[in-house]
């Protein structure tokens, strides 16, 4: 019987047949797919033909399709619907995959062919996209260590294998801490909490098998609990558990793992001739150097810290007025900030939330895409990996262009956060592939499911990533969709958040869950007027995390990351009542893999561009200006990584932006 992961998928649009795939299928499918991919790359390396673009670079592009299918399904379910079997498979697969790709990137015969094509590039009459793919392929081999020999070559393979194991352990430890901790609430503990928080706590208690409501470490539940619970003792207990993820001692403690990862990354960079891992990592990004990143972050840090310190004084006075004669603590900030928001902006989260129904916000994200880019969304009835998931066919002018899958609700089997991934990426070589794209979020369940304004922004953010994948129109998969510089990849997602703030969008889709009435005009004005509320806090917690990430990787690896984290925050003058958004032991962006290592700053780098890019629509007179939308798709959304990121942005906007637009957008610019 053919393994369903490797068989022809006779499903609508060749979506993975989740109803026929079992956990027992993954290991044999991976083994077979790895062997097939190795045979393909070995054949390319051993080809008797003279190295050329078609028989080397395009051949590498076409190789590994079965492996891509197996891994896309496995990592989708491992991240969004894990179980003990999948966790064990992930531990087994990580070193196997590292060894496999290290063998390919270290294949001297194969690299010699790639290098030969690179040397003759000027005489090959390549298209611009082909020239880009060749450059990226050659650079990838070099940066992976293909030019290393002897002991350095062997050590590089060891380092990559060990890093793969450690990254898997880090994320699984974090998932275990988030899954296993919860705090039971008595009925009296629910006093003062809005109905939507009570509903979410009861749903979480049911999911945990507890006899009553609970608070979990899911951001969609713990943040509103910290905002609304008048019980300072319970807020402190919940916050301390949240802050301690990955640092609780025992088998799930991530502190030693983080130290080893940083040490290995530094060694890896030095083997390749770089002064630091940050110098190695940033070479291929828009920022180019650690100094450029630090300059951006510090330009934002000082005004943000000043604003946060001013806000802390106001919140401290509010706390003292409540009879609490203590220093403002991290578990107090959100509670008093929410009270301040209600007082200063006459904005009550409990009254606001019924207007942000999940289904209506999904409709809003689709409607904006339809107006901007002419795409339409039709529900699909297909088997998916979890009952919470839903799917849509995406068309334009009646032509199929993608499948979009949404998995929106928090559950114990899902890692925290929100993300977008392509289960299949767009390409036209060696045949036409239309993308299958998934957004994964962690919203609280409810009937109906209600979002906070921040949740709604997250939904739009991830859908911006999805549009980058779905509207991709390139030839080669390696430069498709979000395969761009890390500090450029957040531009489409952060830019798309702006459409949530367009008054006509909220006016149409922010309708009350019970009455169906649109959001009142005065409430809409208050929502938009409070968009920058508490921005000092939000900016400080983010920039502190980005600066710690950069410092960890820009110089000798710290033997004790927690002590180094403390030193960095002290040097920055971190406000006492604010913590990093992601402290080291639960900083999955940085330690679960290399993706955002030395790169957490990229959200802010992209924000410099997204503030300026949306201003282009405002200057044109409409958030839905067709000329600006066409230019956005032509120069950014459809082009993937087929051209340099700075070149793409300049083609769209005519220039690169400065930090002023970001500071103005965050309300941190000097008056």
Q: For residues 654 and 657, what is the distance between their CA atoms, to the nearest angstrom? A: 10
SS3 percent helix, strand, coil of the chain, rounded to 5, is 60, 5, 30
Same domain assignment for residues 72 and 141:
yes
Confidence band, pLDDT 50/70/90 cuts, at residue 670: low
Q: What percent of the chain has pLDDT over 90?
A: 94
Residue 671 has pLDDT above 60, yes or no: no
**Which residue would you say has higher pLDDT here, 523 or 348?**
523
**Where does a domain end: 584, 600, 616?**
600
Structural domain harbouring 593: 251-347+535-600
**Where does a domain end: 554, 579, 600?**
600
Residue 222 has pLDDT above 60, yes or no: yes
Same domain assignment for residues 39 and 63:
yes
Residue 531 has pLDDT above 90, yes or no: no
**pLDDT tens by residue, 313-351:** 999 999 999 999 999 999 999 999 999 999 999 888 888
Same domain assignment for residues 424 and 294:
no
Could you tell me if residue 167 is inside a domain? no
What is residue 434's predicted lDDT score, i.e. its pLDDT?
98
Mean pLDDT of the chain, nearest integer: 96
What is residue 624's predicted lDDT score, i.e. its pLDDT?
98
**pLDDT tens by residue, 44-83:** 999 999 999 999 999 999 999 999 999 999 999 999 999 9
Whole-angstrom Cα Rg for the chain:
25
Residue 197 has pLDDT above 80, yes or no: yes
**Where does a domain end: 93, 128, 147?**
147
Q: For residues 175 and 137, what is the distance between their CA atoms, to the nearest angstrom? A: 34
**pLDDT tens by residue, 641-669:** 999 999 999 999 999 998 887 888 888 87
What is residue 66's predicted lDDT score, i.e. its pLDDT?
97
> Average pLDDT for residues 535-539, to the nearest whole number?
96
Same domain assignment for residues 209 and 193:
yes
What is residue 479's predicted lDDT score, i.e. its pLDDT?
98
> Average pLDDT for residues 26-33, to the nearest whole number?
98
Query: What total of structural domains would you count in the chain?
Result: 4
Q: Which of 40, 169, 338, 462 is catalytic?
A: 462
**pLDDT tens by residue, 457-499:** 999 999 999 999 999 999 999 999 999 999 999 999 999 999 9
Could you tell me if residue 169 is inside a domain? no
Q: For residues 491 and 607, what is the distance between their CA atoms, to the nearest angstrom? A: 7
Q: What percent of the chain has pLDDT over 70?
A: 100
What is residue 448's predicted lDDT score, i.e. its pLDDT?
92
Could you tell me if residue 158 is inside a domain? no
Q: For residues 403 and 354, what is the distance between their CA atoms, to the nearest angstrom? A: 29
Could you tell me if residue 165 is inside a domain? no
What is residue 663's predicted lDDT score, i.e. its pLDDT?
85
How many CB atoms neighbour CB 631 within 10 A?
17
Same domain assignment for residues 36 and 88:
yes
**pLDDT tens by residue, 238-266:** 999 999 999 999 999 999 999 999 999 99
Concerning whether 462 is annotated as a catalytic residue, the answer is: yes
pTM across the whole model: 0.94
CA distances for 654 relative to 154, 372, 484, 551, 650, angstroms: 47, 20, 20, 33, 5
Q: Which residues contact 578 (CB under 8 A, 6 or more apart)?
A: 308, 312, 330, 333, 537, 540, 541, 544
């Amino acid at each position: 019987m053919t393994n369903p992961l490797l068989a022809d998928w006779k499903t609508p649009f060749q979506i993975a047949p989740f109803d026929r795939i079992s956990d027992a299928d993954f290991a044999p499918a991976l083994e077979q797919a790895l062997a097939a991919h190795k045979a393909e790359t070995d054949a390319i390396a051993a080809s008797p033909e003279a190295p050329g673009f078609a028989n080397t670079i395009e051949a590498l592009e076409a190789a590994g399709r079965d492996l891509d299918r197996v891994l896309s399904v496995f990592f989708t379910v491992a991240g969004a619907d894990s179980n003990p079997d999948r966790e064990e498979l992930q531990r087994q697969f990580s070193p196997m995959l590292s060894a496999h790709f290290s063998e390919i990137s270290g294949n001297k015969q194969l690299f010699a062919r790639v290098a030969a094509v690179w040397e003759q590039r000027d005489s090959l009459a390549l298209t611009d996209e082909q020239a880009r793919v060749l450059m990226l392929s050659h650079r990838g081999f070099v940066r992976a260590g293909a030019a290393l020999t002897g002991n350095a070559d062997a050590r590089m393979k060891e380092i990559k294998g060990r890093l793969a194991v450690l990254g898997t352990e880090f994320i699984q430890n974090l998932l275990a801490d988030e899954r296993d901790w919860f705090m039971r609430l008595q009925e009296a503990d629910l006093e003062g909490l809005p109905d939507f928080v009570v509903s979410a706590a009861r749903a979480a208690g049911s999911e945990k098998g507890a006899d009553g409501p609970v608070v979990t470490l899911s951001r969609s539940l713990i943040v509103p609990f910290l905002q609304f619970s008048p019980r300072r003792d319970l807020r402190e207990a919940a916050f301390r558990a949240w802050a301690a993820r990955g640092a609780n001692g025992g088998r799930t403690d991530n502190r030693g793992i983080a130290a080893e990862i940083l040490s290995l990354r530094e060694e890896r960079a030095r083997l390749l001739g770089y002064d630091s891992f940050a110098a190695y990592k940033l070479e291929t990004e828009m920022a180019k150097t650690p100094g450029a990143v630090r300059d951006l972050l510090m330009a934002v840090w000082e005004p943000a810290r000043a604003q946060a310190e001013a806000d802390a004084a106001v919140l401290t006075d509010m706390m003292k007025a409540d009879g609490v004669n203590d220093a403002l603590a991290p578990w107090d900030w959100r509670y008093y900030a929410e009270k301040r928001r209600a007082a200063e902006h006459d904005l009550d989260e409990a009254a606001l939330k019924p207007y942000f129904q999940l289904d209506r916000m999904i409709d809003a994200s689709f409607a904006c895409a339809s107006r901007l880019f002419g795409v339409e969304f039709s529900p699909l009835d297909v088997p998916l990996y979890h009952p919470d998931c839903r799917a849509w066919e995406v068309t334009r002018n009646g032509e199929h262009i993608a499948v979009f899958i949404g998995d929106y609700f928090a559950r114990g089997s899902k890692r925290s956060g929100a993300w977008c991934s392509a289960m299949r990426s767009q390409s036209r070589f060696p045949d036409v592939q239309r993308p299958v794209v998934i957004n994964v979020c962690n919203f609280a369940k409810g009937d109906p499911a209600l979002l906070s304004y921040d949740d709604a922004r997250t939904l739009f953010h991830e859908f911006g990533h999805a549009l980058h994948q779905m509207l991709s129109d390139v030839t080669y998969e390696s430069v498709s969709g979000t395969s761009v510089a890390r500090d450029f990849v957040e531009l489409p997602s952060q830019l798309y958040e702006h459409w949530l703030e367009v008054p006509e969008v909220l006016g149409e889709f922010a309708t009350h869950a019970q009455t169906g009435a649109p959001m009142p005009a005065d409430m809409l004005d208050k929502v938009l007027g409070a968009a920058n509320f508490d921005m000092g806090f939000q900016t400080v917690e983010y920039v502190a995390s980005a600066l710690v990430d950069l410092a960890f990787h820009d110089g000798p690896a710290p033997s004790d990351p927690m002590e180094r984290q403390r030193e960095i925050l002290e040097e920055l003058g971190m406000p006492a009542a604010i913590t990093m958004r992601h402290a080291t032991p639960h900083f999955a962006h940085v330690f679960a893999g290399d993706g955002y290592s030395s790169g957490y700053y990229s959200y802010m780098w992209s924000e410099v561009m997204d503030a300026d890019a949306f201003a282009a629509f405002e200057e044109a007179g409409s958030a839905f200006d067709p000329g600006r939308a066409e230019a956005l798709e032509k120069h950014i959304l459809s082009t993937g990584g087929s051209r340099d990121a700075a070149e793409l942005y300049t083609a769209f906007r005519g220039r690169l932006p400065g930090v002023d637009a970001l500071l103005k957008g965050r309300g941190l610019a000097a008056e």
